[in-house]
Amino acid sequence: MKAEVLSIGTELLLGEIVDTNAAYLAEKLAGLGIDLYFKTTVGDNPGRIIQALEQALDRADLVVTTGGLGPTTDDLTIETIAQYFSEELVVDQPSLEKIEHFFQTRDLKMPESNRKQALRPKNASIIKNSLGTAPGIILEKNGKIVISMPGVPKEMYRMMEETVIPFLESKLSGEQSVITSKTLKLLGLGESSVEEQIMDLMLNQSNPTIAPYAKEYETHLRITAKGKNQEEVRLLIQQTEEMIRERLDRYIYGVDQEKLEHLVAIKLAEKNLTIAVAESCTGGLIAHRLTNIPGISQYLERGVVSYSNEAKMEILGVSPTILEEHGAVSQQTALAMAEGIRRISRTDFGLAVTGIAGPTGGTETKPVGLVYIALSANSGQRWEKYNFSGDRESIKMRSSQMALNMVNNYLEGLQEC
């Protein structure tokens, strides 16, 4: 079965609302083994909705729409679907009674316009909406299936789980397959470099498929497999992942929804180690990310924003000579900050970041984006130099990401101090 998602609403085209529904539907359809090749967004215009519906049904067996089921004049989805299939619109009495009851229980007068939400194409079945007033529909005609649900996410999610997924499972009748993806997260290697190192794997495989893409401040590798069941898919993904890791393992820090700060917290807990952070250009961002993790207080002793030279000297004990000879943004200062925060907090590790976040403050020898990161441990010290691009916020975020990655790699034994 091939599907297409049709998101309806002018507010989506204007950017007033982010279309999270399409992403949710894509995930659920993939889990059913239904191939989704297109996602289309169209405004609240009957002519353009019909055009989009006609195009979708020309290339898919199943079209799932969200949006346009409200009571106002610009909510046109049901009317347009009925028009396309030459279906008479009829009042679904149970739906009308449910809508009337919704208003009665709230001591509200039901606007006449809400009656239109009880209309359905004559040969369509109703998808009950337990969280709102707008029911959905399922229409099977001419060998095609159109499923229409509201745009309100919580309503659509409930209807999908309660009605649509069981309906689709029954239609697949033994021919059901499973589509699953696993995402590898990489740092320190750009999208094109990742692709270059695994190009032969990408060219020689159709199942699983491998797709690199840039994601915020890192590179992701998505492995997608299709099979008869979850075990078959798991083995396919595992085999491909092993081949990728043979080449790129030192750049892979996590998978799927894992975040660096969470991985660092887990490893600190497993090894019963403590850390303190001294930040200049990141302004407390590293400490902020770590403190988002429940229970981190057992392992994060303190975080210091030592933005000025005076703070670096007075709080961390950075030598005035180092600052005079090398400057606040230097390898020497980063190392002194890391050692200073470890000393005063009496922790196992001291992590420090200093740099130029911009957009001003850069020079020819020390441009905007220059960042030094240092880690101090009982076994020694380690530092790294980066030249990041982007605006101030991007540079701060990239700096925090690479700082946490340094700690993560050290805790995994991939790097030494």
Tens of pLDDT, residue by residue over 367-403, are 999 999 999 999 999 999 999 999 999 999 999 999 9
Q: Stretch 46-59: mean pLDDT, rounded?
A: 96
State whether 320 and 375 are in the same domain.
Answer: yes
Domain ranges, residue 315: 260-412
State whether 239 and 275 are in the same domain.
Answer: no
Supply the CATH number for residue 321's domain. Answer: 3.90.950.20
Instruction: Report which of 197, 96, 89, 81 is spatially closest to residue 144, judged by C-alpha positions.
Output: 81
State whether 194 and 338 are in the same domain.
Answer: no
Q: What is the pLDDT of residues 195-236, one digit of tens each?
A: 999 999 998 888 999 999 888 789 999 999 988 888 999 999
For 168, residues 6+ apart whose C-beta sits below 8 A from its C-beta are: 1, 32, 34, 62
User: Is residue 417 one of the residues assigned to a domain?
Assistant: no
CB 264 within 8 A of CB 402: no
CB 61 within 8 A of CB 3: yes
User: Is residue 54 one of the residues assigned to a domain?
Assistant: yes
Report the predicted TM-score, pTM, of the whole model to 2 decimal places: 0.71
CB 374 within 8 A of CB 337: yes
DSSP code for 111: P
User: Is residue 50 one of the residues assigned to a domain?
Assistant: yes
Q: What is the pLDDT of residues 277-323, one digit of tens each?
A: 999 999 999 999 999 999 999 999 999 999 999 999 999 999 999 99
Helices (H), 292-391: 309-314, 320-326, 331-345
CB 1 within 8 A of CB 171: yes
State whether 186 and 103 are in the same domain.
Answer: no
CB 14 within 8 A of CB 147: no
Indicate the residue among 151, 172, 193 that finishes a domain: 172
Indicate the residue among 172, 196, 225 that finishes a domain: 172
Residue type, 272: N
User: 37 phi and psi, to 5 degrees?
Assistant: -105, -20
Residue 413's pLDDT band, with cuts at 50, 70 and 90, is confident
Number of domains within the chain: 3
State whether 123 and 155 are in the same domain.
Answer: yes
State whether 150 and 214 are in the same domain.
Answer: no
The enclosing H or E element of 141 equals strand 136-141
